[in-house]
Amino acid sequence: MKQNRIDNYILGKMSSDEALAFEQNMEQNDDLRKEVDLHRDIVRAIRLKAAKEHLQKTEQKIKAEEHRRKIFTFTRYISIGAVAACLIVGVFLHYDTASNYRQYGLNNIQIEISSSRGGTDYSTRAAIEINNGNYDSALVIIEEGESVTLICEYSNPELQEQARLEYDAEQDALQWYKAVTYMRMGKYIKAKRLLKEIAASDSFYKNDAQKVLDEL
């Protein structure tokens, strides 16, 4: 009972009248006063210890958070720097490769215009546009020629074979001219893909395509 009264007094759970009466009792009872002081010191020590532990935990959390942020920030900067470096290198490689293909197509590959067909076939018309630097127009003509299908009206087997050979030669030329056009336009990805297709086929230009791939 006395212990509860001491605890209620120290913890401020008494009413004003009860606290006043208890204090008057302490003035008259020296043992009670000493016991109250002892309990007050104990409560103060417990509270102080709890406060220190709470403070230590808070400091540990703050340090852990700061460490995590530093690692995150450092990693983020490294990641950003790595991405930026890759982008820069990628841009330089892209333009360097495109320039190599463009210069090779202009300086190392000659497009000769055949007069044997009178300049009316698609490959001849495309060759003229390529030599004049009209690459977009050349691609339009090439794609038109590629869409043409072989229609043979000859009944003679030899004439049929001749028509087939001329058709295949025309398609080979159109495919090669398209690759050269892509090269001169700097579209090296499309050019390289098409050159690989030509080199792997039975095209008349397979050796020319392979030579370009080997040198570039």
Sign of the dihedral defined by the CA atoms of residues 118, 119, 120, 121, in that order: positive
pLDDT at position 16 is 75
> And the tokens for 214?
């080997």
pLDDT at position 87 is 38
pLDDT at position 162 is 85
Give residue limits of the domains in the chain: 2-77, 108-215
pLDDT at position 23 is 77
Indicate whether 187 pLDDT > 60: yes
pLDDT at position 75 is 55
- DSSP code of 215? H
Q: List pLDDT tens digits, range 141-169.
A: 999 998 888 777 777 878 778 878 888 88
The answer to whether 204 touches 172, Cβ cutoff 8 Å, is yes
Phi, psi of 114 (to 5 degrees): -85, 135
pLDDT at position 55 is 67
The secondary structure element, H or E, covering residue 121 is: none
pLDDT at position 22 is 75
Reported pTM: 0.53
pLDDT at position 96 is 56
Closest CA to 199 of 186, 182, 211: 211
How many angstroms separate the CA atoms of 19 and 64, rounded?
46
pLDDT at position 76 is 54
Closest CA to 192 of 168, 210, 170: 210
How many angstroms separate the CA atoms of 60 and 54, rounded?
10
Q: List pLDDT tens digits, range 59-118.
A: 777 777 776 776 655 555 455 554 434 433 343 334 457 778 778 777 778 787 765 444
The secondary structure element, H or E, covering residue 192 is: helix 188-199
Q: List pLDDT tens digits, range 4-46.
A: 777 777 777 778 787 778 778 877 888 877 787 777 777 677 7
Q: Which of 52-56, 149-153, 190-194 has the highest mean pLDDT?
A: 190-194
